[in-house]
Amino acid sequence: MTHPYRPPELLAGHHDVSGFERRSCEQTDWLRRSARQSASTGTTRVFVVGWLLSIGLY
């Protein structure tokens, strides 16, 4: 049985978050504006899961 998702991976420079959108404007804004900086300073860990052309967030 195959899984439609790739394994979770840490947010990296090759991930395009510009198309990410949640119902919560605050989550969308945080991911687009602050997630990379927070991850690089070690205050957060953002994981992404790829499925076809979509990106999810944990």
Residue 1 forms part of a structural domain: no
Q: What is the mean pLDDT of residues 32-57?
A: 79
pLDDT, mean over the chain = 81
Total tally of structural domains belonging to the chain? 1
45 in a domain, yes or no?
yes
| Tens digits of residue pLDDT in 21-30 | 888 999 999 9
Residue 2 lies in a domain: no
User: What whole-number distance in Å separates Cα of residue 11 and Cα of residue 6?
Assistant: 13
% pLDDT > 70, the chain: 81
Q: Quickly state the pLDDT bin for 3 (edges 50, 70, 90).
A: low
- pTM of whole model > 0.75? no
4 belongs to a structural domain: no
Contact 55, 20 (CB under 8 A): yes
* Cα(18)–Cα(29) distance, integer angstroms: 10
Q: Is residue 14 in a domain? A: yes
> Is residue 51, in this structure, part of any structural domain at all?
yes
Is the model more confident about 57 or about 6?
Answer: 6
Domain hosting residue 29, numbered range: 9-57
